[in-house]
Chain A
Amino acid sequence: MTRADGWLLAAGALTLPLWLQSPYHLHVAIMAGIFGVLAMSLNLLLGYTGQLSLGHAAFFGIGAYTSALLTLKLDWSFWPALAVAVALAALAGFFIGRLALKLRGAYFVLVTISFAGVISLVSINWIELTNGPLGLPGVPAPALGPWSFRTKTAYYYLVLAACGLSYLVCRRLVMSRIGRALVALRENEPLAESVGVDVTHYLVLAAVVSAAMAGLGGSLYAHYTRFVSPEVFLFTYTVTMVIMVVAGGKGTLAGPVVGATLFTVLPEALRAAASWQWQMLAYGVLLVLLVFFLPRGIVPWLARVMAGSQAPAEPDSPTIRR
Chain B
Amino acid sequence: MGKRSIVVLALVLVALAALAVPGESQAPIKIGVIEPLSGPVAASGNYVRMGAEIARDWLNAKGGIGGRKIDLLIEDNKSDPKEAASAAEKLIVRDKVPAIMGAWGSSMTLAAMPKLEEYGVPMVVETSSAASITKRGNPWIFRISPPSEMEALGLEQYVDKLGVKRVDFLAVNTDWGRGAITAFGDMLTKKGATVGAKEFMDQSATDMNAQITKIKATGGDTLFLTTAVEQITLVMKQAQEQRLGRKIVTTGGSSSPTQLIKQAGAAAEGSYHIVFFMPWFPESMPDGKLAKAFVDEWAKRGHPSEGLTEGFRGHDGIATIAEAIRVAGKDDPKAVREALWNVSLMGVNGPIKFDKDGPAGKESGQSRPSIFVVQIRDGKVALPDFLAKK
Are A and B co-members of a single complex? yes
Return chain A residues, CB-CB under 8 Å to B93: 22-24, 27
**A231 x B80 contact (CB < 8 A):** yes
Return chain A residues, CB-CB under 8 Å to B38: 276, 279-280
- With A25-B20, A306-B4: A134-B15 Cβ-Cβ less than 8 Å: no
Q: Which of A127, A134, A262 contacts B11 (CB 8 A)?
A: A262
CB distance from B260 to the nearest CB of A (A): 25
Taking chain B's interface residues, is the majority helix, strand, or loop, or is none over half, making it mixed? Answer: helix
**B107 x A276 contact (CB < 8 A):** no
Say whether A31 faces chain B, with CB atoms less than 8 Å apart: yes
Give the segment of A45-53, A65-73, A79-87, A265-273 that binds chain B. Answer: A265-273
CA distance A27 to B90 in the complex (A): 9
**A2 x B75 contact (CB < 8 A):** no
Say whether B110 faces chain A, with CB atoms less than 8 Å apart: yes
Give the segment of A3-11, A103-111, A172-180 that binds chain B. Answer: A3-11
Say whether B313 faces chain A, with CB atoms less than 8 Å apart: no
Return chain A residues, CB-CB under 8 Å to B107: 133-135, 227, 229, 231
Return chain A residues, CB-CB under 8 Å to B190: none
Using CB atoms, name the residue of chain A closest to B179. Answer: A134
- With A261-B15, A268-B90: A137-B80 Cβ-Cβ less than 8 Å: no
Using CB atoms, name the residue of chain B closest to A9. Answer: B5
Say whether A318 faces chain B, with CB atoms less than 8 Å apart: no
CB distance from B51 to the nearest CB of A (A): 16
Per-residue A-contact encoding for B98-139, CB less than 8 Å = 1, 0 else: 000000001100110110000100000000001010001000
Q: How many residues of B contact A (CB 8 A)?
A: 51
Return chain B residues, CB-CB under 8 Å to A135: 81, 107, 110, 175
Say whether A148 faces chain B, with CB atoms less than 8 Å apart: no
CA distance A272 to B17 in the complex (A): 12
CA distance A135 to B19 in the complex (A): 31
Return chain B residues, CB-CB under 8 Å to A1: 2, 4-5
CA distance A236 to B106 in the complex (A): 19
Say whether B78 faces chain A, with CB atoms less than 8 Å apart: yes
**B85 x A265 contact (CB < 8 A):** no
Say whether B37 faces chain A, with CB atoms less than 8 Å apart: yes
Interface positions of B from 204 to 218, Cβ below 8 Å from A: none
Q: Which of B9, B21, B37, B94 contacts A12 (CB 8 A)?
A: B9
Return chain B residues, CB-CB under 8 Å to A303: 4
Using CB atoms, name the residue of chain A closest to B173. Answer: A124
CB distance from B13 to the nearest CB of A (A): 9
CB distance from A82 to the nearest CB of B (A): 19
**A262 x B110 contact (CB < 8 A):** no
Say whether A192 faces chain B, with CB atoms less than 8 Å apart: no
Taking chain A's interface residues, is the majority helix, strand, or loop, or is none over half, making it mixed? Answer: helix
Return chain A residues, CB-CB under 8 Å to B110: 135, 137, 227, 229
**B132 x A276 contact (CB < 8 A):** no
Per-residue A-contact encoding for B67-99, CB less than 8 Å = 1, 0 else: 000000011101011100111011011100000
Say whether B18 faces chain A, with CB atoms less than 8 Å apart: yes
Return chain B residues, CB-CB under 8 Å to A227: 81, 85, 107, 110-111, 113-114
- With A229-B81, A262-B11: A28-B19 Cβ-Cβ less than 8 Å: yes
- With A279-B76, A302-B8: A133-B37 Cβ-Cβ less than 8 Å: no
CA distance A236 to B80 in the complex (A): 9
- With A5-B2, A12-B9, A234-B80: A134-B89 Cβ-Cβ less than 8 Å: no
Return chain A residues, CB-CB under 8 Å to B81: 135, 225, 227, 229, 231
CA distance A22 to B92 in the complex (A): 11
Using CB atoms, name the residue of chain A closest to B45. Answer: A276
Return chain B residues, CB-CB under 8 Å to A201: none
Return chain A residues, CB-CB under 8 Å to B16: 20, 25, 28-29, 265
Say whether A245 faces chain B, with CB atoms less than 8 Å apart: no
The 10 closest A-B pairs by CB, nearest first: A5-B5, A24-B93, A4-B1, A276-B76, A265-B15, A226-B114, A134-B175, A133-B174, A229-B107, A5-B2
CB within 8 Å of A: which residues of B?
A: 1-9, 11-12, 15-16, 18-21, 37-38, 74-76, 78, 80-82, 85-87, 89-90, 92-94, 106-107, 110-111, 113-114, 119, 130, 132, 136, 173-175, 177-179, 200
What are 28 A-B pairs at a CB distance below 8 A?
Answer: A8-B6, A21-B20, A23-B119, A24-B94, A28-B86, A29-B16, A31-B82, A133-B178, A134-B106, A137-B110, A225-B81, A225-B82, A226-B114, A227-B111, A227-B113, A229-B81, A231-B82, A234-B80, A236-B80, A258-B8, A265-B12, A265-B18, A277-B37, A279-B76, A280-B38, A280-B78, A305-B7, A306-B2
